[in-house]
Copies of this chain bind each other. A is one copy, B any other.
Amino acid sequence: MTVSHEAVADGALRAAEDAFPIYGSAEPEARARLLEAIAEALLALGDDLLAIADGETGLGLPRLTGERMRTVNQLRLFAKVAREGSWVDARIDTALPTRVPPRTDLRRLLIPIGPVVVFAASNFPLAFSVAGGDTASALAAGNPVVLRGHPAHPETSARVAGAVATALKTCGLPAGVFTYVGGPGHAVGLALVRHALARAVAFTGSLAGGRALFDAAAARPEPIPVYAEMGSTNPVFILPAALAERGAALGTALADSATLGTGQFCTKPGLVFAVDGPGFPELAEALGARIATKAPARMLYPDLATRFRAGAAALATTEGVALLATGPEAAPASGVVPNVARSVAWQVDAATFSETPALREELFGPSTILVRVADVEGLRRAAAALDGQLTATVHATPAELDKARPLLAALARRVGRLVFGGVPTGVEVSSAMNHGGPYPASTDARTTSVGTAALLRFARPLCFQDADASVLPPELLDRNVRGVWRLVDDRFTRDDVPS
C-alpha cells in the first residue's frame, strides 16, 4: 500500500497536536528529564551509531565522536535552560486601583506554540539532525516535534529516532511528542509545512531549499514562521598590519578552516579579503601550500560533490579568477570517487570580484577565494557589497582596529556574528552565541539556530489580565514558586510579588 505524502504529514501532525495538551503543559522538570533521557538513549546506542553515521556520511569517527558529545551536551544544556525556567520572560504589572484610570493586573509569559516541523541538516548527522539543536530547542520550549529526516543518512536517523522514542517511553510521555518522517524527496516536507496544524518550521540547508519552505509557509491561509539557516560565504577581512605580522600563519589557518569537514560547514570561510602589501604574498603562498596538502575527501552525498565540482569548474573558467592551488586528485581505484572532492583555492582582484556576482555565492565544499584589495577602504567597499552572512571575521592588530571602524560598521549591518582574530568555523553552543543573520544567511535575522536563545523561536507571549491565582501559570503567581527571574513592576527580580 502506498500512503500519500499528505497522509503521512497528516498522521504526524495529528499525533503532535494530540500530544500537545499534555506536553505543552508539562512541568519544566518533565521537559528537562525528556531531554536528558534522549541524551542517555543516544549514548546507549553506542559506537555502532558512529560507525553507521560514518558509513552514511564519510565524516570520520573522530569528528562523529565529537559531534555526538556536542549533541548530548546540547540536549543537556537545553534541559538546564528548561529546568531553570527564566526563558519564559515573565512580566508582572501589578494593579494600580487608585491610578486615574486604574491599571488592571497584567501578567505575561512565553508559552509553547504547538507542533514544530524540523528539517534535519545533512552536514551534522547528529548535532543538527534528528535529536539536534532544533529538536532540542523546540522540545525545551514545550512543543511536539515532527522531524523530517535528511535522506542522506537514513539509518543514522532511524537509530536516533528510535532513541527518542525510547526516551519518551522512559519518561511516560505520549509518542506523538516526537514523530520521525523518513524517505526520499521534497514532497513530504512541503506537505508538512503546508499542513494546517504546523505552527513553525526549522530548517538548515541550502538557500533554494530554505526559500522554497519559506515561500510555502508564507502562502498558507495562515502563515507560519520559517527559521531557515541557509549558510553563507563567511567573509574574512585582513588588515595590513595583521597581514604583515602573520600572513603565512593566517594562510595556513584559513586553509584548514575552509577544508574542515570537507568544507561542509555553514561557517566555512569562502571569501578572504586581504590588502595587497607586506604579508600578502606569504598569505597567498601559505594558503595555496596548505590546500595542496589536503587529501581528496568524500562529501556527504553524491549530489553535493557533483554540485561542488560543477561550481569549481565554473570558477576555473571565470575571467579574472586564477587558480591558487588544488589538493591531489583522488586515486582512480577509490571506490567512493563519485563523492570525492578536491580542495581548491582561488585568487581574484577586487575589480573582478566586484564585477562578478557569482563570486559572492556560497560554494559548499572545500573551496575558498582570496580577494586582493588595494586598501582598508577596499575592504569596507567589499563588505558593503555583500549579502547577509552568518559570520564575518576580522584580522587586525589592536593598533589598527580604529581604522577598521567603517568596515566593522558595514559588517554589523550584514552579519550575525563578528569574529576577531580567529576562524568562523566552530560554533559554541551557549547563551551568547548567535548563529543566524540577515537574508540570505537566514530567513529570520531576529533569531539564532544555535545556543540557548534558539528556543525563543518556538514560543509566543500570552498575557493574563486580572486572572485568579487558580488559573495562572506557576511562573506568574505572586509567590515566585519556580524561582525564575521576572520583571515585576519594571524591576528585574527573583523576589515574590509583595502582597
Residues of A at under 8 Å CB distance from B? 21, 25, 86, 91-93, 101, 103-104, 106-108, 111, 113-114, 214-215, 218-219, 222-223, 225, 387-388, 398, 401-402, 404-405, 408-409, 412-413, 415-422, 426, 428, 430-434, 436, 438-440, 443-448, 453, 459-468, 470-471, 485, 487, 490, 492
Contacts and interface: CB of A to CB of B under 8 A. Distances in A.
A466 B421 contact: yes
B428 A93 contact: yes
B461 A436 contact: yes
23 contacts: A91-B432, A93-B430, A93-B432, A108-B432, A111-B412, A214-B223, A218-B219, A223-B439, A408-B471, A415-B462, A416-B463, A417-B462, A417-B464, A419-B466, A420-B465, A420-B468, A420-B471, A431-B490, A436-B461, A446-B460, A453-B461, A485-B492, A492-B492
Contact of A417 (B101, B218, B430, B463): B463
A472 to B, nearest CB: 10
A462 B214 contact: no
A219 B211 CA distance: 10
A459 B21 CA distance: 32
Contact of A462 (B107, B434, B443): B434
Contacts of A421: 466
Given A108-B433, A114-B413, A471-B408, A463 B91 contact: no
Nearest to A101: B426
A413 B142 CA distance: 13
A103 B415 contact: no
A41 to B, nearest CB: 25
Contact of A432 (B106, B398, B431): B106
A182 to B, nearest CB: 29
Contacts of A106: 428, 430, 432-433
Contacts of A443: 223
A113 B444 CA distance: 12
| A103, A111, A223: most-surrounded residue (chain B CB, <10 A) | A223
Contacts of A444: 225
Contacts of A91: 431-432, 453
A102 to B, nearest CB: 10
Contact of A445 (B113, B436, B468, B470): B113
A416 B86 contact: no
Given A106-B433, A409-B21, A470 B440 contact: no
| Closest 4 A/B residue pairs (Cβ) | A434-B463, A218-B218, A91-B432, A106-B432
Contacts of A92: 432
Contacts of A459: 446
Nearest to A461: B434
Contacts of A114: 413
Given A108-B432, A418-B464, A448-B461, 14 more contacts: A25-B409, A91-B432, A108-B434, A214-B218, A218-B219, A222-B440, A223-B439, A401-B468, A418-B462, A422-B466, A433-B463, A436-B461, A446-B459, A446-B460
